[in-house]
Amino acid sequence: MYTRAARRAVPVIATNLERSQGSLLGRLAMANSSQPKRPKVVTLENMNPHVRTMQYAVRGPIVARATAIEKELAQGEKKPFPDVVKCNIGDAHALGQKPITFIRQVIALATYPELLSSDMFPEDAKARARRALSGCKNESVGSYSDSVGIEPIRQDIAAYIERRDGHPSDPNDIVLCAGASEGIRSLLKCVVAGEGKTRSGVMIPIPQYPLYSASLAEFDAVQIGYFMDEETGWSLKVSELERAVTEARKHSNPVAIVIINPGNPTGQVLNRENIEDIIKFAHRENLYIVADEVYQENIYAKGAKFHSFKKVLREMGPEYQTMELASFYSTSKGFMGECGLRGGYMEAINMDTEVFGMLKKLVSAKLCPTTLGQITMECTVNPPREGEPSYELFMQEKTAVLQALREKAKLVAETFDAVDGVSCNEVMGAMYAFPRIHLPKKAVEKAKELGMAADAFYCMRFLEEKGVCVVAGSGFGQVDGTYHFRMTILPSVEKIKEVMERFREFHSKFMEEYKD
Amino acid sequence: MYTRAARRAVPVIATNLERSQGSLLGRLAMANSSQPKRPKVVTLENMNPHVRTMQYAVRGPIVARATAIEKELAQGEKKPFPDVVKCNIGDAHALGQKPITFIRQVIALATYPELLSSDMFPEDAKARARRALSGCKNESVGSYSDSVGIEPIRQDIAAYIERRDGHPSDPNDIVLCAGASEGIRSLLKCVVAGEGKTRSGVMIPIPQYPLYSASLAEFDAVQIGYFMDEETGWSLKVSELERAVTEARKHSNPVAIVIINPGNPTGQVLNRENIEDIIKFAHRENLYIVADEVYQENIYAKGAKFHSFKKVLREMGPEYQTMELASFYSTSKGFMGECGLRGGYMEAINMDTEVFGMLKKLVSAKLCPTTLGQITMECTVNPPREGEPSYELFMQEKTAVLQALREKAKLVAETFDAVDGVSCNEVMGAMYAFPRIHLPKKAVEKAKELGMAADAFYCMRFLEEKGVCVVAGSGFGQVDGTYHFRMTILPSVEKIKEVMERFREFHSKFMEEYKD
């Protein structure tokens, strides 16, 4: 049969090599075997091509190399740096941020309710744990929750959105998810369809967070990039949206637009008029609005303010009130930084009832998001209130985190921008700087020789020489011929200062080496 | 443009209806709006057709109705039963099973390490929490873990498998996941490809756990059903596998075979020879083996024993030693029943190195499985040992759960089998009875009139009249013209007895009503 024959045609030599890199057991088995070599059933050639094509730079080869270097250091290998600083991902706790006490107390209480009678815990933490447990079947976090999440938590999320926006929110529009990523992926999965010229397209910013490019590749949908304008502080121009959608309509069917605000990796914070213009654009073009608002607590620039897309939409004319909009939030960012606990939610307004039913069916096959991640979200949207015993400590911890981030945002952007051959916009929000590196032609040629993107080559050298792990701009997308990298601003102020020093040394040496 | 025009062609009346069922806010907005009605951007007609087609009965309409009835009861509505008993899903804690103390202690300790200095916790629980934290970046469960999971936990899983099987296991073959479901979905996603006659097919048992049919539909792969033989205690016959694969090769490209052992929903436990025969079949037919072994602790039948596919494979001839096999385990089943915490792992042996790299890339876009779910898995595979302070309580709790399940498995199967018009095989393992209902022709006709599957009609009546929620056999697949339902054996012994009484009353009334 054709396909089986094709499968067997995979060169045996490759299979041997693979085997030799496999598990110890595999190797033993090989050694004992006198059988003819059998090709693998599933190979790179015949596996799912969409999985094969997708890219996810934030956890790509440079990160794997960083982890390997960490191990080499631990084994006593000498390096020209004392440690690896992983600035590749917004992983706050990994970089030293302390958890918010209240969140951890509530989770411990809900997990082990025997603690509810201990005087080690404040009453408000106990009250939140009890509230969460009241929504768990038989009051156990070990029961599956409804696939859309625990009901009192959905109510508290809606109440949070109402307080934030000054407009009603319906708990029935809320779906909890294991981190915003899972929710975003479920939504995108539902809205894309078609083949050939009618294949769905989703507009995403360039540079973008690679979850989007990866998921669209996996779902076989068309990525429609619109460029953020670096010259004007990574602003989002409607003329560029129009260019992108017009171009895309020639070969695909645009169905949705993703906006990341505050921006990742670019850190811009959209103002109200800008958001209005984007909504009007989506209305004209009949697009589903996907608002990635996971950094809504992370605003640093003077005068900047977070406006949720929903709030702005609600304050526009009646013709906009039935537009479909999904917004996402996460426990992984903000001041919480609880990445490992996997909490997040989607608020989807005006979704077609039947489509929403299908979305719920889709998430139900995954049973439910982790209950403890949901409780982390509960603590985030229903924090201690003034007068409650945990209030003071909570505010102190929250303020300290956000204050330090503000300081580091300024420090990092200004330091980068002051270096020759580097320019860096203000980090208005989120958790990243995205400096532009003006690479000499020789460096670009050298990278080409090595078969690498020029900024990936630069970042790999930075890692090997200084132990700092950042992600090349090519992983996020950028204007051709420009080069960037993304660095989180999450390490402590002292560490960030040290990282910036390592950067200055590396950069000037690199530029010297490759100067034209 | 063609696609946009098509989208607008959705009848406006349907859209209005949908809106009127939407959120309160949507309705308010409608009332205030004098705008012409605007169709939704994403509708049932233009959404992802694969999501639309997939079915997941375990959380389908009957469960939604059960939840609605629960609310009606809570609001004081009179019903001919005191409560709803949800026997639709293997959700142990929801049905009254108590969590294992050791698991909850370790999670509380890891979440809130201040408790490590409390004398409320035994030393071995503290040791496990410290071990898990040692694998978390900066010792916080709030850090992202590696996408494949926390390293010491992967090591402990490998050690567990070695103890279980008496054969080596490589931690590099282990990938943690948020419940087995997520891992199974990721693996299936990777191995399926192709279109038309070369579309990948995956063999699954019929009856099956609907995760498989749902995921294959979502991934646009071909479901190749092989029938379990009800007459011989749901045994798995190689002749039937051969029939199914031969048939399937005419219109698809079979790439994998899923075996659920112990069976869900059918509860059979495969013996060693049977497993050998299946492995030989997979070898002959060049299939990737997917062994769903989440019920490995749940064996009740006298003389039955769990044999892992990997153990059996390792004890076969050299020609089998390089076969690709993935096995799955979960914290949701067994004696733990920690469904809400979302812990699970995959052990994938002999996977092509590059394909494994792609699988890791795929899961990395979801960042990581919940750290607390991973720690639940750690406690499962690395339980208290003899001599450690938690050992006695742990064994007592574990034994009590498994002993009660054994008792209920017998009670339920025997009770069903003794009822006229019902036959039920022994529940050898897992957590479900899957009785066959010999429905009268009149009932089948009535269901047809209502546009329902006959067993769904029967189950819905059982729910409405007796408050017991079970899932119709049509959601799992069955031989045409036969009718079944799946019921978990998880409620307490007392409750199970009451449920069986409700069943007897309902069934005899129903049979009387529709007798031929």
User: CA nearest A347: which of A316, A372, A313, A315?
Assistant: A313
Across the interface, whether the CB atoms of A369 and B46 are under 8 A apart is answered: no
d(CA A158, CA A170) in angstroms, rounded, equals 6
Closest Cα in chain B to A337: B142
Specify whether A80 is located in the same domain as A20: no
Cβ-based contacts of B336 with chain A (< 8 Å) = 142
Residue B43 CB neighbour total at 10 angstroms: 16
Q: What is the pLDDT of residue A24?
A: 42
> Which CATH number characterizes residue B77's domain?
3.90.1150.10
User: CA nearest A370: which of A378, A362, A361?
Assistant: A378
**B99: preceding bond cis by omega (within 30 degrees):** no
Least confident interval from A1-15, A171-185, B48-62, B269-283: A1-15
Residue type, A415: T
Across the interface, whether the CB atoms of B358 and A47 are under 8 A apart is answered: yes
Specify whether B436 is located in the same domain as B302: no
Pairing of strands A325-330, A344-349: antiparallel
Confidence category of residue B59, pLDDT binned at 50, 70, 90: low
CB-CB: which of A178, A198, A355 is closest to B44? A355
Q: Report yes or no: A373 at the B interface, CB cutoff 8 Å.
A: yes
Strand ordering across the sheet containing A174-177: A174-177, A344-349, A325-330, A288-292, A253-260, A200-206, A222-227
User: DSSP assignment of B71-130, as one string?
Assistant: HHHHTT---SSS--EE-SS--TGGGTPPPPHHHHHHHHHHHSGGGGG-TTS-HHHHHHHH
Closest Cα in chain B to A47: B191
Q: What is the pLDDT of residue A482?
A: 95
User: CA nearest B292: which of B364, B372, B203?
Assistant: B203
Query: B153, exposed or middle or buried, with CB in 10 Å at 0-12, 13-18, 19+?
Result: buried
Across the interface, whether the CB atoms of B143 and A94 are under 8 A apart is answered: yes
Q: What is the pLDDT of residue A36?
A: 58
B10 φψ region: left (φ > 0), alpha (ψ -120 to 50), beta (else): beta
To which H or E segment does residue B213 belong? helix B210-218
Q: Which of B381, B408, B442 is the last residue of a domain?
A: B381
Q: What is the count of structural domains for chain A?
A: 2
Residue B246 CB neighbour total at 10 angstroms: 11
Specify whether B375 is located in the same domain as B227: yes
Q: Report yes or no: A15 at the B interface, CB cutoff 8 Å.
A: yes
> Which CATH number characterizes residue B259's domain?
3.40.640.10
Confidence category of residue B72, pLDDT binned at 50, 70, 90: very high
Instruction: Kindly give, in sequence order, each residue whose CB lies less than 8 Å from that of residue A327, ignoring residues fewer than 6 positions away.
Output: A291, A293, A308, A309, A310, A346, A347
Across the interface, whether the CB atoms of B322 and A30 are under 8 A apart is answered: yes
Give domain status of residue B387, yes or no: no
Mean pLDDT for B188-197 is 89
Best residue of A322, A349, A375, A377 to probe chain B, by most B CBs closer than 10 Å = A322
Q: Report yes or no: B22 at the A interface, CB cutoff 8 Å.
A: yes
Residue pLDDT, tens place only, B460-485: 999 999 999 999 999 899 999 999 99
CB-CB: which of A89, A318, A355 is closest to B33? A318
Specify whether B27 is located in the same domain as B79: no
Residue A39, min C-alpha distance to chain B (Å): 9
Cβ-based contacts of B210 with chain A (< 8 Å) = 365
Residue B419, min C-alpha distance to chain A (Å): 31
Q: Report yes or no: A120 at the B interface, CB cutoff 8 Å.
A: yes
Residue type, B11: P
Residue pLDDT, tens place only, B402-427: 999 999 999 999 999 999 999 999 99
* Tokens (6 digits) for B337: 């029943």
Give domain status of residue B242, yes or no: yes
Residue A221 CB neighbour total at 10 angstroms: 25
Task: Please give the interface size between A and B, counted as residue pairs whose CB atoms are below 8 Å apart.
Answer: 396
User: DSSP assignment of A330-373, as one string?
Assistant: ESSSTTT---TT--EEEEEES--HHHHHHHHHHHHTT----HHH
Give domain status of residue B266, yes or no: yes
d(CA B478, CA B434) in angstroms, rounded, equals 11
Give domain status of residue A69, yes or no: yes
Which residue is associated with the tokens 């039948």? B301
Q: Count Cβ neighbours within 10 Å for each residue of A224-255 and write b for 16 or more, e otherwise.
A: bbbbbebeeebbbeeebbeebbeebbeebbbb
Cβ-based contacts of A46 with chain B (< 8 Å) = 193, 255
Helix (H), strand (E), coil (C) string for B16-49:
HHHHHCCCHHHHHHHHHCCCCCCCCCCCCCCCCH
Angle at B180 between CA B401 and CA B262, to 5 degrees: 55
CB-CB: which of A43, A342, A361 is closest to B370? A342
Specify whether B278 is located in the same domain as B409: no
Specify whether B432 is located in the same domain as B344: no
Query: B192, exposed or middle or buried, with CB in 10 Å at 0-12, 13-18, 19+?
Result: buried
Give residue B328's Cα distance to chain centre: 11
Q: What is the pLDDT of residue B50?
A: 86
Closest Cα in chain A to B61: A361
Q: Report yes or no: B190 at the A interface, CB cutoff 8 Å.
A: yes
Residue type, B330: S
Angle at A287 between CA A284 and CA A289, to 5 degrees: 115
CB-CB: which of A59, A142, A369 is closest to B147? A59
Across the interface, whether the CB atoms of B361 and A54 are under 8 A apart is answered: yes
Q: What is the pLDDT of residue B8?
A: 36
Across the interface, whether the CB atoms of B168 and A25 are under 8 A apart is answered: yes
pLDDT tens for each residue of chain A, 516 residues long: 333 333 333 333 333 333 333 444 444 444 444 555 788 988 888 888 888 888 776 667 888 899 899 999 999 999 999 999 999 989 999 999 999 999 999 999 999 999 999 999 999 999 999 999 999 999 999 999 999 999 999 999 999 999 999 999 999 999 999 999 999 999 999 999 888 888 999 999 999 998 999 899 989 999 999 999 999 989 999 999 999 999 999 999 999 999 999 999 999 999 999 999 999 999 999 999 999 999 999 999 999 999 999 999 999 999 999 999 999 999 999 999 999 999 999 999 999 999 999 999 899 888 899 999 999 999 999 999 999 999 999 999 999 999 999 999 999 999 999 999 999 999 999 999 999 999 999 999 999 999 999 999 999 999 999 999 999 999 899 999 999 999 999 999 999 999 999 999 999 999 999 988
- Average pLDDT of every residue of chain B: 90
- Indicate if the pLDDT at residue B291 is higher than 60: yes
Instruction: Kindly give, in sequence order, each residue whose CB lies less than 8 Å from that of residue A222, ignoring residues fewer than 6 positions away.
Output: A199, A200, A201, A202, A216, A248, A251, A252
Specify whether B443 is located in the same domain as B507: yes
Mean pLDDT for B250-257 is 95
Specify whether A444 is located in the same domain as A400: yes
Give domain status of residue B110, yes or no: no
Specify whether B334 is located in the same domain as B418: no
Across the interface, whether the CB atoms of A93 and B173 are under 8 A apart is answered: no
Residue B108, min C-alpha distance to chain A (Å): 4
Across the interface, whether the CB atoms of B91 and A143 are under 8 A apart is answered: yes
User: CA nearest B363: which of A227, A66, A218?
Assistant: A218
Across the interface, whether the CB atoms of B142 and A339 are under 8 A apart is answered: yes
Could you give the 3-state DSSP secondary structure of residue B345?
Answer: strand
Residue pLDDT, tens place only, B334-376: 999 999 999 999 999 999 999 999 999 899 888 899 999 999 9
Give domain status of residue A124, yes or no: no
Across the interface, whether the CB atoms of B370 and A91 are under 8 A apart is answered: no
**B440: preceding bond cis by omega (within 30 degrees):** no
DSSP state, A419?
S
* Tokens (6 digits) for B160: 């567990």
CA distances from B82 to B69, B70, B74, B77, B503 (A): 11, 10, 10, 11, 14
| B454-466 helix and B493-513 helix, angle to the nearest 10 degrees | 120
Give domain status of residue A226, yes or no: no
Specify whether A61 is located in the same domain as A7: no
Give domain status of residue B141, yes or no: no
The answer to whether the CB of B416 falls within 8 A of the CB of B367 is no
To which H or E segment does residue A236 belong? none
Residues 270-289 of B with CB under 8 A from A: 286-288
Residue A425, min C-alpha distance to chain B (Å): 27
Whole-angstrom Cα Rg for chain A: 25
Diameter of chain B measured on Cα atoms: 76
Q: What is the pLDDT of residue B13?
A: 33
- Indicate if the pLDDT at residue B141 is higher than 50: yes
Specify whether B305 is located in the same domain as B432: no
Closest Cα in chain B to A25: B168
Residue pLDDT, tens place only, B94-139: 999 999 999 999 999 999 999 999 999 999 999 999 999 999 999 9
d(CA B100, CA B107) in angstroms, rounded, equals 11
Across the interface, whether the CB atoms of A341 and B288 are under 8 A apart is answered: no
Pairing of strands A432-433, A485-488: antiparallel
Across the interface, whether the CB atoms of B29 and A173 are under 8 A apart is answered: no
Cβ-based contacts of B366 with chain A (< 8 Å) = 178-179, 181-182, 185
B336 lies in which domain range?
Answer: 148-381
* Tokens (6 digits) for A337: 């930084």
Specify whether B200 is located in the same domain as B175: yes
Helix (H), strand (E), coil (C) string for B352-420:
CHHHHHHHHHHHHCCCCCCHHHHHHHHHHHCCCCCCCCCHHHHHHHHHHHHHHHHHHHHHHHHHHHHCC
To which H or E segment does residue B261 belong? none
Across the interface, whether the CB atoms of B41 and A288 are under 8 A apart is answered: yes
Residues 122-141 of B with CB under 8 A from A: 136-138, 140-141
